[in-house]
Amino acid sequence: MRHLLEIDDLTVDELRAVLELAGRDPASVPNLLTGLGVACYFAKPSSRTRNSTEMAVVQLGGHPMYIGDDEVRIDERESAEDVARTLACYHRIICARVFSHETLVRMASVDAAPVVNLLSDAGHPLQAIADVLTIEAEFGSVRDRHVIYVGDCNNVARSLTLAVATLGGRMSLAAPAGYRFSDVNTGRLAAAGADFGYLDRPDDVQDADVVYTDTWVSMGQERDRDRRLRDLQEFQVDEAMLERNPSAIFLHCLPAHRGEEVTDGVLDGERSRIWVQTAQRLHAVRGVLHWLVDSEGR
């Protein structure tokens, strides 16, 4: 059974297939999920991911069901494995946003229904697919485009790196020591001949086609907020950084923390593509759900 917990659950060809499905006209996609449910479990808040996932299920003819953690309480009321087995009795696909990535791995391990990662501490693959769609819409292709992610090498950065670098883009991460990946699938990156590396200083952010940032304090890291803001303050994406990258567009997965990782001027500036990127979330998750159902045979 196929699951999508991280971009590297897909071969590069499969990732391209998902992107192709995501690019199809929503009006012409088949009703693959007629009469079927998709469980949408959230242990953390969400705006974009919940709304795009629920509406993608509707576009595929199915019924999305929001499940808050106050009801299911994974590993308090019931184990992650038993939650997956239970939801699979009623739903074709289980989508879940969790704190620990290991929770997703355990839910997928019982192979009761395909599991899709709606964000964990390790990755955010649906965001990365939307990001690639946004870059393709701007430049035609990710290949040979230089994407520089600035700030904390977090879940969003990891999935973005796996997607961009294995599709032939050049991926740089500008982050201070202590905020770089503790682990990333270097085997996958090497196998794809990926162009991937770190930049030490904010001034090194140059020659970018895309400048990307995300919050310095991800959900679950709130206790470290003061230290993180102090350590990362030089890595704010501001107008001066964009001026050093005159042909770059700006991306952010959102929610943005205006005045922290990015300035208002950049977010609302003419080179910002954040609302195109937000809209692509719907197409990305529809493409993933379409691919998952197709890959197992309808």
**Binding stretches for ligand NVA (CB under 6 A):** 119, 154-156, 214-215, 218-219, 253
Per CB under 6 A, which region of 10-18, 162-170, 192-200, 253-261 contacts ligand CP? 253-261
Comparing C-alpha atoms, which of 41, 5, 46 is closest to residue 219?
Answer: 46
User: Which of ligand NVA, ligand CP, none interacts with 47 (beta carbon under 5 to 8 A by kind)?
Assistant: ligand CP
| E strands, 14-61, in order | 37-42
> Which is closer to ligand CP, CB of 132 or CB of 253?
253
User: Which of ligand CP, ligand NVA, none interacts with 154 (beta carbon under 5 to 8 A by kind)?
Assistant: ligand NVA
Tell me: does residue 218 bind ligand CP (CB under 6 A): no
Tell me: does residue 267 bind ligand CP (CB under 6 A): no
Min dist CB 47 to ligand CP, Å, is 3
Alpha helices (runs of H) in 32-169, residue ranges in sequence order:
48-59, 69-72, 80-88, 101-109, 125-139, 155-166
Tell me: does residue 277 bind ligand CP (CB under 6 A): no
Comparing C-alpha atoms, which of 116, 123, 127, 128 is closest to residue 92?
Answer: 116
- 255: cis peptide before it, omega within 30°? yes
Strands in 249-252's sheet, in edge-to-edge order, are 195-199, 170-174, 146-150, 210-213, 249-252
Helix 155-166 / helix 12-22 crossing angle, nearest 10 deg: 100
Q: Which residue is closest to ligand CP by CB?
A: 49
> Which is closer to ligand CP, CB of 127 or CB of 166?
127
Q: How far apart are CA 181 and CA 175, in angstroms?
A: 10
Q: Which of 84, 119, 210, 266 binds ligand CP (CB under 6 A)?
A: 119
- In the chain, % helix, strand, coil (3-state, to 5) comes to 45, 15, 40
Tokens of 94: 């289980």
Q: Which of 4, 43, 46, 104 binds ligand CP (CB under 6 A)?
A: 46
> Which is closer to ligand NVA, CB of 49 or CB of 263?
49
Per CB under 6 A, which region of 66-74, 193-201, 241-249, 252-260 contacts ligand CP? 252-260
User: Which of ligand CP, ligand NVA, none interacts with 214 (beta carbon under 5 to 8 A by kind)?
Assistant: ligand NVA
Min dist CB 104 to ligand NVA, Å, is 14
Q: Determine contact, residues 149/212, Cβ cutoff 8 Å.
A: yes
Q: How far apart are CA 5 and CA 49, in angstroms?
A: 15
Tell me: does residue 253 bind ligand CP (CB under 6 A): yes
Binding region for ligand CP (CB under 6 A): 46-49, 119, 127, 253-255
